[in-house]
Each structure stands twice: as structure tokens, then as C-alpha cells.
Structure 1
Amino acid sequence: MSTPDTATDTATENTALVTEFYTRAFNEGEPEAAARVALGDTYIQHNPGAPDGAEAFIGYVHHMRGRFPELQLQVKRTVASGDLVVTHSRFHLTPGDRGLAAADIWRVRDGRIVEHWDVIQEVPEQAANSNTMF
């Protein structure tokens, strides 16, 4: 009889939590519900343009969806290790745009997201190579 791999189970649960949180907030426009289910009492933000806390995250999503009501997020891949989940995503602000490539790092503690870092860049019209960003 094999023993369950607790680290794998935790990574899978953390990945599901982050992915559901991220897509529910942005794609479904439900940041309050997403935050209520997923964010910890403390939410530390490392993006220098965003304040800490759940209310700031909720406000940011509403601001972005107000400017870009058809905004869509596609999580292309995830990597999880320990208490960290990394998402590699594509944001489309408007239908048909080239979009933005985002790498987000999320720290999960006790089943709640407590910390976030991100790196975002525009998908260029032309690239110096034939590889895609996704």
C-alpha cells in the first residue's frame, strides 16, 4: 500500500486555490467572492504599484474591469513548490489584442493566499526569435 504524497497533495490544492481565485476575480468579475474564499487575513503585495490587503486587490480588479470590461485571463501553466505557486498567464485587455504576458508568484499559508509578486510585459508585434511567449 502506498502512502499519499503530502507535498504533492498540498501543491495540487494550492494550485487549484490560486487558479480559481485568479480566474474568478478577473474573468468572472467577482473579486469580492474570490478574496473571501482565497485571501488570508494578511495579503502582502510586492507589485510597487499596488497596495497591500484584500480591499486593494478588489479595488484593482474593479478598476481594470471598468477600463477593460472584456478583459480575459488565460492561465497557460502553473508550477508549485512548497508554499509557492507560479502562474504564467496571458491577459487580453480587449478582444483580439496581442495581450500581456504575466508571471505571478503566490505564497499560500494554511490554505489562504498571503503574498503576491508579479512580472508583466506586453506581447510584442514582432520578436527577435520565432518562439512564442506561451
Structure 2
Amino acid sequence: MTTENRTIVHNALAGLVETGDVDTLASFLSEDFVHHRSDSTTSTRTEWLAAVHAALGPTAGMRVEILHLLADGDHVVVHSRRRLPDAGPEIVVVDVLRVTDGLIAEVWEIIEPVAHAAANASWWQSARH
């Protein structure tokens, strides 16, 4: 199951990252798919695909580098580095995807601008002293 789920996510993202192919990604999502953001907002399959198309579609310009693709049971974790278009900031993203019956059913997304990484880790530094 773990290997199959990793392959499903890899195949869903491959065309998207290479060419901005949102339609292939859509074919890997369940009809009741839910996207969760760290600010507690959620979006439906349709809403999320529209946002992905706007950010990563063929003319959108965001570049994505997948750094890690890890799987355990029905969950797959994708760690990526993304460069926003028009000289926008570089961000690091961790997505946790849940795969059910061969389709991606949910994704939780955590985003951090690279420029904020040091400031966001300051609590860790002060806790160690």
C-alpha cells in the first residue's frame, strides 16, 4: 500500500511540476477531496484545482522542485521548494496527502517563505538557552 500510494502521488504531481498539467492532477483526486491550510481554511476539489491552475498552470510561472516524497500507509508527504513568479519569494512547502481507494482524498499544506525561516525558528533558539 505504501509504495502504491507513493506512486499515485508521484504520478499525480509529475505532469503538474513538469508542464503545469492540472487535468492529470484532477484525475487523481477523489470527488470529495478536501484541501486544508495551516490557517484552518479548507477548499473543495473544484476550488483547489482552480487555485493550483492559477499558480502552476502552463502560463502561471511558478517553479517547483520536489525535494522529498515519503510514504507511510495511506499518507504521503511531499517536501518541495517553490519559486513564485515575477521574482516573488521562494517558499518551502510540506504537503501531507491521504490516499484512499487509489485517489488523493485530502491534503494538508504548510507553507513557509524561505526569508522568514530564521525569524520563525527564533523561539527554538531561545528555548535552548
Same fold, judged at TM 0.5 (above): yes
The 8 Å contact of residues 16 and 56 in structure 2, kept in 1 or not, is answered as no
Q: Which amino acid aligns with 1:76?
A: L
**1:6-45 to 2 correspondences below 5 Å:** 10-36=1-27, 38-45=28-35
Deviations 1:19-45 (A, max 9, x none): 232342344221122211x11121012
Runs of 4+ in 1 over 3 A off after TM superposition: 94-98, 125-129
The 8 Å contact of residues 27 and 72 in structure 1, kept in 2 or not, is answered as no
Counterpart-to-counterpart distance in 1, 2:101 and 2:9: 13
The 8 Å contact of residues 53 and 60 in structure 2, kept in 1 or not, is answered as no
Query: Structure 1 or 2: larger helix share?
Result: 2
Q: What is the RMSD computed on CA atoms of the aligned residues?
A: 2.6
TM-score, normalised with respect to structure 2: 0.75
Deviations 1:98-129 (A, max 9, x none): 61100100000111000110110011288489
In the alignment, is residue 123 of structure 1 matched against residue 95 of structure 2?
Answer: no
In the alignment, which residue of structure 1 is the partner of 2:105?
114
In the alignment, which residue of structure 1 is the partner of 2:44?
52
Give % identity: 27
Query: Structure 1 or 2: larger strand share?
Result: 2
TM-score, normalised with respect to structure 1: 0.73
In the alignment, which residue of structure 2 is the partner of 1:78?
69
Q: Which runs of 5 or more residues in structure 2 are unaligned?
A: 122-129
